[in-house]
Amino acid sequence: MKKRFLNLLTAAVLACALLAPLPASAKGVVLNFNDVDIATMVKFISDLTGKNFVLDERVKGKISIYSPSKLTPDEAFSLFTSVLELKGFTLVQAGKVYKVVPTAAAKQSGMRLLSDKDRLPVSDAYVARIIPLERISAQEAVAFLQPIVSKDGYIAAFGASNMLMVVDSALNIQKLTGILTLVDSPQKREGAEIIFLKNASADSVSGVIREWLGGKTSRPAGQAGQATATSSAGVLIVPDTRLNALVIFGSDQDKDDIKKLIAMVDVVPPTTSSKINVYYLENADATDVAKVIDGLIKGTPTTPGQPGVPAAAPVQSPFEGGKISVTPDKATNSLVIMASPVDYQNILQVIQKLDKRRRQVFVQALIAEVSLDKLKDVGVQIGALAVGTQGDASGGAVLDPFNFLSATSGPQFLLVKALEELGKNVSVSAQVKALVSDGAINVLSTPNILTSDNKEAEIFVGENVPFLSQTNLTTGGISQQSIERKDTGITLRITPQISEGEYVKLDIYQEISAVKENKGQANDLVTTKRSAKTAVVVKDKDTVVIGGLIQDRDTETINKIPLLGDIPLLGWLFKTKSTRREKTNLMIVLTPRIIRGAEEMNDVSGQQRDKFGEALSLDAPFDLKRDLQLSK
């Protein structure tokens, strides 16, 4: 019985072993990720490989990976590091933890130090490696390896021990060590020289030279797609795809022969001497972008020089030459670009950096006239306005409307506090309403402006008034009059510019014009105009007040006895006429709000819809499409 039980137990264990899933390394994984967050991808790789990761707070963004073939966990890890490198990030190993950091900060992140005997990882993770040299000097090695080191890498020489310290991605260090293995050998080759290619690719030219040499090709161990070194008869050619250049080692005669061959093959193919491409912009304006590119093509400064200052020398064009043209198409908001393939790639990089979605700014404005005399008569108590807490404030001081320099007095203080506390404190709200109803504050306009960053917006509310400009008499004695129409009213022009730290610079132009009462002929119309032009810097959602445009206004008052005062001539015995001159101060209150995305835009739109619905006093909730009869 016992033996039978053992046999059954053994069979069960074997069955479980056969039914157990194969490890990931045996089955492989397929990586298909479309626009996923980097943090999500890191968690997936961590679960797949069992490695520990720590994300720097600066590591943000989305990545996409498409791998139709199955990959082992090690291959998936290597692919993951390559994708991070494309996004400007890398891995730095610290013990059993991999830190995901920006590539520019990798050198200061405390990475793993490898000796020449340690095996390099097959990935784009950043490592530090010490490389001893036997036959060439460390300073000489730094001179010809420096252009091949990555932009955020580092290479230094230790002269006393003749060693190199290199900080770079593991794959790039592998390429550097492969070059050093060939150079630092008993068959030491002569000095290195770098040839930058203009039209052809480094790999294709290297292949031509390899065929020309008819020699042997050495492939250092590495990943597919790595640069391949060509070596033959004392000549070494190393292609660098990042710089699109060739590193040549050999005698002066060999290098001269190779440079002649390169000059023959590094030309623009006749079929691609001028290629036409169409690029559709998503956010920027095609006409504006075309002007910027045109300035780069011409290689001239975009801003004119000041009078009396010598003109700046023309800037050297960054393009290789040949015919280049960029034509904007307004209908499709696209650019038609005619350029060589190399020049088109340079232009494309500039366009992609300019074609960014700009943030928007929503500006709430209040334009009001403050009667200084009536404010003084009303005697507003600052204590009630300043406290804004529970109940009514006791004490306080009477507002002096002429004390503009005081931080806690004057119409500026009144309006700011009224805006802050309106609707929060019943007593404050009542006092402000009393001021408005009494005529102490005359709200002229409350416009709202929504515009893109660094884009001018304008609102005008007023009338188009006819003015008699000139009168001519014809030969027949007929009078001909010319009428000129002018706008009078309220104009508010704002150009916002979002700066660092969530501040908004506002270029403001405010104008209020009106026609004075006409007491003469039709051609005696007189207009008054008050304007202010300024630039202010305001923090997001803060309020700024612009004032000080004071004007004297005459108000004529007639007091009379009913009926008796209306008798012609004799009526003056029963009535009096007085003229009162009062000072009014034009105040402009602005509150900018930065709109960063669709969520904040919907929030602002909802607030404005609610206000509009309250103004209409609708019993049912306000519906934009229903109440304004908008088409779907």
Structure tokens at 50: 């069992």
Which of 106, 123, 151 is the last residue in one of the domains? 106
Do the Cβ atoms of 324 and 343 come closer than 8 Å? yes
Whether residue 618 has pLDDT greater than 70: no
pLDDT of residue 496: 92
CA 79 to centroid of chain Cα atoms: 30
pLDDT of residue 19: 35
AA identity, residue 301: P
pLDDT of residue 379: 45
Bigger pLDDT: 621 vs 335:
335
> C-alpha distances in angstroms, 336 versus 139, 292, 492?
49, 14, 38
Whether residue 124 has pLDDT greater than 70: no
Structure tokens at 165: 């310290």
Residue range(s) defining the domain that contains residue 40:
28-106
Whether residue 505 has pLDDT greater than 50: yes
State the first-to-last Cα distance of the chain, in angstroms, to the nearest integer.
Answer: 82
Whether residue 329 has pLDDT greater than 90: yes
Query: Does residue 226 lie in a domain region?
Result: no
Bigger pLDDT: 120 vs 488:
488
C-alpha closest to that of 200 among 340, 73, 316, 329 = 340
Structure tokens at 599: 């969520």
pLDDT of residue 16: 41
The owner of tokens 């030219």 is: 205
Band the pLDDT of 521: cuts 50, 70, 90.
low
Whether residue 5 has pLDDT greater than 50: no
In 10 A of CB 438, how many CB atoms?
Answer: 13
Do the Cβ atoms of 215 and 239 come closer than 8 Å? no
Whether residue 179 has pLDDT greater than 90: no
Domain CATH code at residue 51: 3.30.1370.120
pLDDT of residue 332: 92
pLDDT of residue 289: 92
Helices within 324-368 (DSSP H only):
341-354
The two counts, helices (H) then strands (E), for the chain are 16, 26
How many residues can be counted in the chain? Answer: 632
> C-alpha distances in angstroms, 315 versus 300, 337, 347, 353, 420?
5, 22, 17, 21, 53
- Average pLDDT on 258-262 reads 87
Bigger pLDDT: 278 vs 463:
278
pLDDT of residue 519: 53
Bigger pLDDT: 403 vs 3:
3
C-alpha closest to that of 133 among 194, 190, 188, 191 = 188
Query: Does residue 279 lie in a domain region?
Result: yes
Q: Which of the given ranges, 188-197, 345-354, 382-391, 394-403, has the highest pLDDT on average? A: 345-354
Question: Coil, strand or helix: which one is 597?
Answer: coil
Bigger pLDDT: 227 vs 147:
147
- Average pLDDT on 36-58 reads 85
Whether residue 322 has pLDDT greater than 90: no
Query: Does residue 336 lie in a domain region?
Result: yes
Indicate the range of 132-141, 148-157, 335-344, 615-624 predicted with least confidence.
615-624
CA–CA separation, 343 and 472 (whole Å): 63
Indicate the range of 127-141, 187-201, 269-283, 420-434 predicted with least confidence.
420-434
Helices within 146-270 (DSSP H only):
170-183, 202-213, 252-265
CA–CA separation, 249 and 108 (whole Å): 33
pLDDT of residue 376: 56
Query: Does residue 148 lie in a domain region?
Result: no
- Average pLDDT on 349-371 reads 86
Query: Does residue 334 lie in a domain region?
Result: yes
- Average pLDDT on 498-516 reads 86
Q: How many domains does the chain have?
A: 2
Whether residue 335 has pLDDT greater than 90: yes
Whether residue 7 has pLDDT greater than 70: no
pLDDT of residue 205: 86
- pLDDT, averaged across the chain: 71
411-461: pLDDT as tens digits: 444 454 444 444 344 343 444 455 555 666 777 888 888 999 888 999 888
371-396: pLDDT as tens digits: 766 655 544 433 333 333 333 333 33
Strand blocks (E) in 219-306: 229-232, 235-240, 245-249, 275-280
Using a 10 angstrom Cβ sphere, with 0-12 exposed, 13-18 middle and 19 or more buried, the burial of residue 297 is middle
Eight-state DSSP code of residue 568: T
| Helix axes 202-213 and 252-265, enclosed angle (nearest 10) | 120
Query: Does residue 67 lie in a domain region?
Result: yes
The owner of tokens 């050619």 is: 237
578-602: pLDDT as tens digits: 777 777 777 888 889 998 888 888 8
Whether residue 308 has pLDDT greater than 70: no
C-alpha closest to that of 509 among 486, 493, 498, 520 = 493
Contacts of 511 (CB under 8 A, 6+ apart): 490, 491, 529, 530, 531, 532
Do the Cβ atoms of 144 and 97 come closer than 8 Å? no
Do the Cβ atoms of 329 and 419 come closer than 8 Å? no
Do the Cβ atoms of 378 and 589 come closer than 8 Å? no
Whether residue 626 has pLDDT greater than 80: no
Query: Does residue 70 lie in a domain region?
Result: yes
Whether residue 571 has pLDDT greater than 70: yes
Question: Coil, strand or helix: which one is 312?
Answer: coil
Band the pLDDT of 468: cuts 50, 70, 90.
confident
Bigger pLDDT: 195 vs 191:
195
CA–CA separation, 320 and 504 (whole Å): 40
Whether residue 280 has pLDDT greater than 90: yes
CA–CA separation, 309 and 602 (whole Å): 50
Structure tokens at 123: 């990935």
> C-alpha distances in angstroms, 8 versus 18, 19, 305, 571?
15, 16, 96, 130
Helices within 380-470 (DSSP H only):
382-387, 410-421, 426-438
pTM of the entire predicted model: 0.45
Query: Does residue 197 lie in a domain region?
Result: no
- Average pLDDT on 170-179 reads 78
Hey, which residues does 463 pair with through a beta bridge? 488
CA–CA separation, 540 and 538 (whole Å): 6
